[in-house]
Chains A and B, each alone.
Chain A
């Protein structure tokens, strides 16, 4: 009964969203207040309906209602409660429902918090958001309905893929979706502005909090996914450049560029045409990612051709939305007036540079992701585009961007003085050189790329800090006064510093791991000891154990440093009964920012076992850096000037004062 209610709520949601996608836009076109005012309540109720549907499906999972096909295929009554719940989005149908839920959540949030937005803009934004919802609700109801019952329900379900039974998976997809589906709202803003034929700095102020929110979640989601792959897949890699990762990374790159170009638009009323295009492209990449992941095209282009209903549906959505929005752009963008002039060396110029490199890097990732598919379809050749391709293309494009990064926030708007900025950055530069030399001297590095990499990472960090140091006039005025100045700086300045610092930290982690990681792959008999990264790892033996839905062999290891025990490590090999599938559970010990990582391979005769042990110096910085970036984003978001709904159209000129 609950399941049928959920199904019905979803259909009702589709009907409501049809209203949402037509009435307000017609109202905005004819300037009819009453029609426009329909948008907000409908968006709210539509969100409730989709939420109800989602809750119903979740209920079916919690109660292990195996008469529902989707539950039966992806759940098992022995599974712990949390994995029964996370199983809702651990499959195609459920994850699409989550997708649509987040889509309508963002619509409802704009409806609730966008009170100060002009009526026409709000009506158009919610209308366009409605179009996207129509497409995806129809997709779910016609091709991927999670509420289908089966006539003869089995006693037991087929269980969720064991590698997905993990806390990481419980939170990773919702975060990721909040991010890349979140960019739908910036897309709607862009399309609404084009429909309106009018765009100004206030538009950028209204849209920037939403860009930030989406970006924050996407950053968290990607970092979370990367950490999950690191500890769950058992071979210690944190990024594989596989198409599914790239699918979420491309919107991140474009979204980061958008975040910066919207800044120019907000402060200087410039780069409007480009910012609108970028907003469209960012969500187009989210749609492309959804297509790649959800259509099955990555598994096999041929499988896609033989069962094309889902793939073709998403492809059609992709074509309509990307084609439609770009046509709208081509038609209306010439109407947008260009604003503020600036010299190439200026804050605007540096943000353009940022955009250039980020979009070029994004294009490189796009080519690397799509080229194998294109080649397979056209010539039938099968190729793999892996890390070497991306290191060759993405890497060189990131290096100049990171070198230039500390300069940006120092440059003045309109016309900057590069020499003066260089002088202000001298300390940061000297410090970066000293730290990099010290690190390389202690750790030892023969490879010149390692030295450059460490140097750049530290430079990004010291450069970020020196902006705040300079702005608070540290050591140029009394300490108390410079402290007050620092506290009084706009939150968005702090946000920039913190986020840039986080980027540097992530890079430091990446360089350190690739330069100084140690790896031991060996057979160990009980009692045997191996050295790894300055620690001694002793294998004490294997012991069997079992849980409600798996049995496992636990390896017992003692980790010592200089003879003293520092940790017990218990990696395991699990075997999940329902799916007859083994998984590897790694054991990880963190020392400051570095980790010792142990996972098990095949057992051998006499209680011996193949062991993979890694020493990963500074590895946690990769994810902590992302968390710091997120903190920077939150600080920016908390800036009073950016608060959702706060800005009003008339006041934007004052905000562009040179105090920045």
Chain B
């Protein structure tokens, strides 16, 4: 049963349309379901993020708040406006310390505590996740002069003149 030219073309266009429709459907479904919103502690307090919804929580690790029980660590994330207690089990990134920026992914439990399953590792002493910087700027916690709100201890050797361009991006391009 040889197809006519028109039938051939139609069957091919139909096939292509079907694949593209499936691809489009998958993308829309995934955009609805699989993305995670960034929230600061005060967002969580103000907007009543539903318990159990996955979010990325970003802010600074509050001074004096880190308590370790073996593998589990409890700390407070702050953005000046609000505080949220977080709990995490596992190894922490090299640069996880008090006064430093942090981004953690997880859910706020019914106990009102943020249960993190990932704490993001950043590679640079001076690096603060961009979401954290913007959230802090909104709160007026960002001190431009120091260019860096922790500004205790470690000297920032090379700031001022240069923007540290792509530390997250550094991985594949530089």
Contacts and interface: CB of A to CB of B under 8 A. Distances in A.
Contacts of B67: none
Given A364-B27, A583-B123, A169 B37 contact: no
Given A384-B36, A583-B123, A344 B12 contact: yes
Contacts of B15: 344, 353, 356
A307 B23 contact: no
Nearest to A575: B94
Nearest to A245: B172
Interface stretch (B75-83, B109-117, B160-168): B160-168
A383 B166 contact: no
B19 interface: yes
Name which of A158, A161, A361 has the most chain B CB atoms within 10 A of its CB. A161
A59 interface: no
Range for the number of chain B residues in contact with chain A: 35 or more
Contacts of A95: 173-174
Contacts of A7: none
A296 B23 CA distance: 30
A580 B125 contact: yes
Interface in A259-310: 293-294, 296, 298-300, 302-303, 307
A156 to B, nearest CB: 11
Contact of A169 (B27, B121, B131, B174): B174
Given A299-B168, A360-B20, A392 B157 contact: no
A84 interface: no
Nearest to B89: A521
Given A384-B56, A396-B26, A244 B92 contact: no
Contacts of A392: 26, 29-30, 33-34
A367 B29 CA distance: 12
B56 to A, nearest CB: 6
Q: Which among A172, A298, A389, A521 has the greatest number of chain B C-beta atoms within 10 A?
A: A389
Nearest to A157: B158
B30 to A, nearest CB: 4
Contact of A299 (B3, B22, B158, B166): B166
Interface in B40-77: 56, 70-71
B163 A242 contact: no
A445 interface: no
Nearest to B162: A73
A612 B12 CA distance: 51
A428 to B, nearest CB: 25
A303 B165 CA distance: 10
Nearest to B169: A244
A164 B121 CA distance: 16
A344 B11 contact: yes
A392 B163 CA distance: 35
Interface string B106-150: 000000000000000101110000110110000000000000000
Contacts of A229: 171-172
Contacts of B71: 521-523
A422 B41 CA distance: 58
A519 B47 CA distance: 37
B158 A158 contact: yes
Given A343-B3, A521-B90, A300 B8 contact: no
A389 B31 contact: yes
Contacts of A382: 37-38, 56, 131, 134
Interface string A573-587: 100001111111000
B157 A161 contact: no
Contact of A163 (B20, B27, B34, B170): B170
B168 A244 contact: yes
A584 B94 contact: yes
Contacts of B3: 343-344
Given A300-B130, A582-B94, A244 B121 contact: no
Contacts of B174: 89-91, 95, 161, 164, 169, 173
A140 interface: no
A233 interface: yes
B5 interface: yes
B5 A341 contact: yes
A296 B165 CA distance: 6
A618 B131 CA distance: 37
Contacts of A344: 3, 8, 11-12, 15
B118 to A, nearest CB: 9
A344 B5 CA distance: 11
Given A161-B170, A244-B173, A523-B70, A601 B12 contact: no
Contact of B169 (A299, A360, A388): A299
A388 B34 contact: yes
B16 A356 contact: yes
Nearest to B17: A356
Nearest to B43: A382
Interface string A386-401: 1011011100110000
B27 A393 contact: yes
B19 A357 contact: yes
A158 B157 contact: yes
A396 B36 CA distance: 21
A389 B35 contact: yes
A293 B172 CA distance: 9
Contacts of A582: 94-95
B163 A296 contact: yes
B24 to A, nearest CB: 9
Contacts of B165: 92, 296, 299
Please name the 6 residue pairs, one residue from A and one from B, whose CB atoms are nearest each other, closest first: A382-B38, A360-B23, A392-B30, A388-B34, A601-B91, A300-B130
29 contacts: A73-B158, A95-B174, A161-B170, A169-B174, A176-B173, A229-B171, A233-B121, A240-B171, A244-B170, A244-B172, A293-B166, A299-B163, A299-B168, A360-B19, A360-B22, A367-B31, A371-B35, A381-B37, A381-B38, A382-B38, A382-B131, A383-B38, A384-B56, A385-B35, A389-B35, A397-B22, A578-B157, A579-B158, A580-B155
Interface of A: 73, 89-92, 95, 158, 161, 163-164, 169, 172-173, 176, 225, 228-229, 233, 235, 240, 242-245, 247-248, 293-294, 296, 298-300, 302-303, 307, 341, 343-344, 349, 352-353, 356-357, 360-361, 363-364, 367-368, 371-372, 381-386, 388-389, 391-393, 396-397, 521-523, 573, 578-584, 601-602, 610, 612
Interface of B: 3, 5, 8, 11-12, 15-16, 19-20, 22-23, 26-27, 29-31, 33-38, 56, 70-71, 90-92, 94-95, 105, 121, 123-125, 130-131, 133-134, 154-155, 157-158, 161-163, 165-174
